[in-house]
């Protein structure tokens, strides 16, 4: 989970703990809520992510990509908002 001044960003897998098993912390969707907890939309990154944090100075989300090698991925907030699903 990460938060900016205007939004809260959370991972969502759509699976129960029993379904996910040891991969319970791997998520395919990034859900976005306003600061009142209302859903704004969601984004499906093209790579599975493990963790995110918000960089206030440059208004980006940094995520850790899963795979054979961990890789840091940068998401521009304004691009995320343009590509939201369910808005």
pLDDT of amino acid 43? 83
Sheet holding 49-55, edge to edge: 49-55, 60-65, 71-76
Tens digits of residue pLDDT in 63-80? 888 777 888 888 887 766
Cα 27 from Cα 36, distance rounded (Å): 23
Whole-model pTM? Answer: 0.75
Tens digits of residue pLDDT in 3-27? 988 889 988 777 766 776 666 556 7
Instruction: Indicate the domain borders of the chain.
Output: 2-82
- Give the residue, 67 or 54, on which the prediction is more confident: 54
Tens digits of residue pLDDT in 31-44? 889 999 998 888 88
Candidates 86, 31, 41; CA nearest to 61 is 31
């Amino acid at each position: 989970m990460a938060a900016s001044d205007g939004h809260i960003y959370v991972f969502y897998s759509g699976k129960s703990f029993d379904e996910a098993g040891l991969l319970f912390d791997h998520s395919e969707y990034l859900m976005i809520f306003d600061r009142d907890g209302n859903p704004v939309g969601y984004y499906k990154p093209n790579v599975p992510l493990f963790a995110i944090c918000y960089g206030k100075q440059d208004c980006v989300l940094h995520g850790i990509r899963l795979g054979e090698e961990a890789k840091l991925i940068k998401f521009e907030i304004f691009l995320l908002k343009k590509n939201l699903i369910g808005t």
